[in-house]
Structure 1
Amino acid sequence: MTDNMEKGHNAKTGYVLVLPDANAQANYLADIILHQIEEKKDAVFRIALSGGSTPKKLYELLGGETYSHRLPWERLHLFFGDERMVPYTDEASNFRMVTEALLNHVNIPFRNVHPMPILEDVEKAARLYEENLQHEYGSRVLKNGEPLFDIVLLGLGTDGHTASLFPDTAVLEEKQKWVSWCQPKDAPHRRMTLTYPAIASSRLVIFVVSGENKVKIFREVREENAIYPSSKIETEGEVHWILDKAAGGE
């Protein structure tokens, strides 16, 4: 995907927008999602969700009166970009956060929600989730021009990780699997995560970043020679960075 360096199809060259605060980020993201869904007419729309406090505001907004009745929940399929290997009831669970912020407040069909399975055998769990994705996609092979996801939401860690693509983990070298797992050196819990190939098969990747502690890493991730996990995100579609003023250094 070398041509992507010139087209804004990767993390280093993607479009950047700085907004006043987390509420402005949530409103902007909600409008983007609604617009993208409307563009696809009556087709199935697949989103990979991320954890974090700023995405939580987005999910609460989508589940509220302003947006919930405007979204065609019957054709939305919600997936997860990563998950900690903890019970769904655990406070660290991304699925729990999304359930409390969004799912409990909308009429989305049960079959349209795809949490990552929590098993002691994390290899099996990753394989099952990949099979789920392949079933919904309709193929075991990712095809150019037929994105797996319409939107992938991502965060940015102070160590440069995104989803659960952490520095110095073997998952960064995965070229074939759509889903894998890792045990970060400096973060608790084993993690399941979408891999680079799965994220690359998307129409739009959106990094959502907030807080002044992200100023330095955001700038470093976008440097030409950066080797952070986030720096290596590419997609056949577009990459956008949506920051609050604190993260943007303003």
Structure 2
Amino acid sequence: MTADRRVLVHPDKASLAASIAARFLTKIVDIIDEKGEASVVLTGGTMGQATLEAIRESPARDSVDWSKVSFWWGDERWVESSSDDRNDKQAREALLDHIAIDPSRVHPFPSTDSGLELDEASAAYAAELAEHAPEGAAWPEFDITFLGVGPDGHIASLFPERGGIREAEKPVISVRNSPKPPPERLSLTLPVINSSLRIWLVLAGADKASALGLTLADASVNEVPAAGVRGRRRTLFFVDKEAAAEVPENLTTPGLFWTGDDA
């Protein structure tokens, strides 16, 4: 495990979400002060939503000038825009509908009722990324990318032993054979994810313990996609005690593996 990866362990899911929220709000203020704006990639899932809810409920929430924050998504289920399965709908209900955002800075993936076919939708999102990219680049510079990790080690909609995790050219892919429903999805690819300055992976529950252990042990990326995640500046794993249960002892070295007592 390289020196730019850290594991932060929290007692339970509630304290985990609260800690991420506090760190996120502090960091976003710093980024805006430094750059004048910030770009964030959101994730779905139970902990992704819990984290956004914790940000919404934080007393420090309004310290952020949200009009200067751009929001993207790491992946999306190919369903109608009104579906409760949509990651962007969950994010709006948890946070975005409660803060003063600039609607032009919110970039959801297309939906099945957008008038596009799946491959057209992936091309459209790639074009939107390029439209907001620095000159000569194909996508924006993301300051913070949130990722959930599945029990099988998948990230976004990049699953083990599937072609998506090996995609090196396209920034966005169409997924038609997802091992978890729905089968059709849209996803950023690993090169885009790893271009992020900071990647924050969030894992909670005993069912994530094996995936975390394999990830930190640098398992095959094809078999454990999360093992391939590397932020350009920092990669943080925010986990609860249950998820940390199977981390190999040799990886719990000081400076790499932090508990709440170390924070």
Residue 138 of structure 1 corresponds to 134
1:22 alignment partner, one of 13, 25, 28: 13
Give the CA deviation at 1:68: 2.9
1:127 alignment partner, one of 123, 129, 134: 123
- Give the aligned residue type for 1:235: G
For the pair 1:106 / 2:99, whether they are aligned, the reply is yes
Mapped partners of 1:225, 1:246: distance in 2: 20
2:200 alignment partner, one of 195, 201, 206: 206
Residue 165 of structure 2 corresponds to 172
For the pair 1:97 / 2:57, whether they are aligned, the reply is no
Q: Secondary structure at the match of 2:22?
A: helix
* Percent of aligned positions that are identical: 29
Contact between 1:64 and 1:105, CA under 8 Å: does it hold in 2?
Answer: no
Q: Secondary structure at the match of 1:111?
A: helix
Q: Secondary structure at the match of 2:63?
A: coil
Mapped partners of 2:169, 2:212: distance in 1: 28
CA deviation vs aligned residue, 1:188-212 (integer Å, no higher than 9, x gap) = 2211111111111111101100011
Mapped partners of 2:42, 2:107: distance in 1: 10
Mapped partners of 2:92, 2:75: distance in 1: 15
For the pair 1:36 / 2:27, whether they are aligned, the reply is yes
For the pair 1:241 / 2:237, whether they are aligned, the reply is yes
TM-score (norm: length of structure 1): 0.88
Residue 188 of structure 2 corresponds to 194
2:43 alignment partner, one of 50, 53, 56: 50
- Give the aligned residue type for 2:206: E
- Say if 1:6 and 1:56 are closer, same or farther in 2 by CA, change over 3 A: closer
Give the CA deviation at 1:98: 0.7
Mapped partners of 1:15, 1:187: distance in 2: 29
Contact between 1:142 and 1:201, CA under 8 Å: does it hold in 2?
Answer: no
Contact between 1:15 and 1:240, CA under 8 Å: does it hold in 2?
Answer: yes
Contact between 2:149 and 2:201, CA under 8 Å: does it hold in 1?
Answer: yes
Runs of 5+ consecutive residues of structure 2 not aligned to the other structure: 247-263
Mapped partners of 1:99, 1:142: distance in 2: 26
TM-score (norm: length of structure 2): 0.84
- Give the aligned residue type for 1:196: L
Mapped partners of 1:122, 1:195: distance in 2: 16
Runs of 5+ consecutive residues of structure 1 not aligned to the other structure: 9-13
For the pair 1:155 / 2:151, whether they are aligned, the reply is no
Residue 11 of structure 1 corresponds to none
Contact between 2:178 and 2:185, CA under 8 Å: does it hold in 1?
Answer: no
Residue 216 of structure 2 corresponds to 222
Contact between 2:167 and 2:190, CA under 8 Å: does it hold in 1?
Answer: yes
Contact between 1:206 and 1:242, CA under 8 Å: does it hold in 2?
Answer: yes
Q: Secondary structure at the match of 1:149?
A: coil
Mapped partners of 2:218, 2:95: distance in 1: 37
For the pair 1:182 / 2:178, whether they are aligned, the reply is no
- Give the aligned residue type for 1:208: V
